[in-house]
Amino acid sequence: MSWYRNTVWFVKGLREYTRGGYESASKRFNPADVEVDVAGRSFLVTGANSGIGKATAKEIARRGGTVHLVCRNKERAEVAKEEIVTETGNQNIFLHIVDLSNPKEIWKFAEKFQNEHKLNVLINNAGCMVNNRELTEDGLEKNFATNTLGTYIMTTALVPLLEKAADARVITVSSGGMLVQKLNVSDLQSESGPFDGTMVYAQNKRQQVVLTEQWAKAHRNIHFSVMHPGWADTPAVRSSMPDFYERMKNSLRTEAQGADTVLWLAVSAGATKLPSGLFFQDRQPVPTHLPLAYTHSPPEDEEKLMEVLEEFSQKFKSASLG
């Protein structure tokens, strides 16, 4: 059955996830949806120094928004900030250096940020695909620490600030790869069996979909969404999936095309007219499971994921304050 899921996902991707799929889908887009002035609204974008994160930050800056770039590498982040300011003329671009694989660091950042800034929109874009099992200094598997726990802590830590804002939104950048994974709460840190970085990443992305659905139920005053950017030509794809990149490079979306739905979810009035908690592709809600794929999870597994992440979160919060 895993062979079936992977094959269906790849064939589907050849049609929909490439540049051609975007060009076809974009024929039904309403340009006015994103031709908006967001001056006075504050946006936080993680992983904003390159790829889809930078493309999103740049487009928000063009529309007058205040943009907080959360990046791990100070040198690359400063270059990205300068590029955004120069190209958009928007001076309200702020830089924060945070390693999303370090939960204590995220908590320290979030506590400080809440005391100094307002926030209307959080965009969880930062992620990694490490192809060999690596542990962080806290003993966490690195993909899980960054993609799942990092996203969980950043979001839950900033929920109190978002709840004070008008038209608050949280957008998480997932992947269509999650379609081949069923939530597995018994091995969140990939300790059992052979390690496959691509499948671990896909599992993390399934976890992000579940998180979004659960947050939407818990926080009714915030609009949550999760999305698939399609297959885009980004530095992360080139470094983490070199074979895939070589095979598909002539068909990959541009970074701006990959970022289009993130931008739409972040700024358009139409996005929040749809229910909170949905999974989007090319400005449309799409199913989170392939037909006959058996990737649905029982509610108790989804509840267990939230419980485990909250336990981790509180543990590292205490350590950061201590």
Distance of alpha carbon 160 from alpha carbon 148, whole angstroms = 20
Please provide residue 123's backbone torsions phi and psi, each rounded to the nearest 5 degrees.
-115, 105
pLDDT digits over 80-92, tens only?
999 999 999 999 9
Q: What is the pLDDT of residue 1?
A: 44
Q: What is the pLDDT of residue 6?
A: 57
CATH class of 1-315: alpha beta
pLDDT digits over 171-204, tens only?
999 998 899 999 999 999 999 989 999 999 999 9
Largest CA distance in the chain: 54
Mean pLDDT of 115-133: 96
Q: Which of 4, 17, 201, 294 is catalytic?
A: 201
Burial 103-133 (b: 16+ CB within 10 A, else e): bbbbbbbbeebbeeeebbbbbbbbbbbbbeb
Q: What is the pLDDT of residue 11?
A: 55
201 is known as an active-site residue: yes
| Residue 168 or 10, more confident | 168
pLDDT digits over 263-311, tens only?
999 999 999 999 999 999 999 999 999 888 789 999 999 999 999 999 9
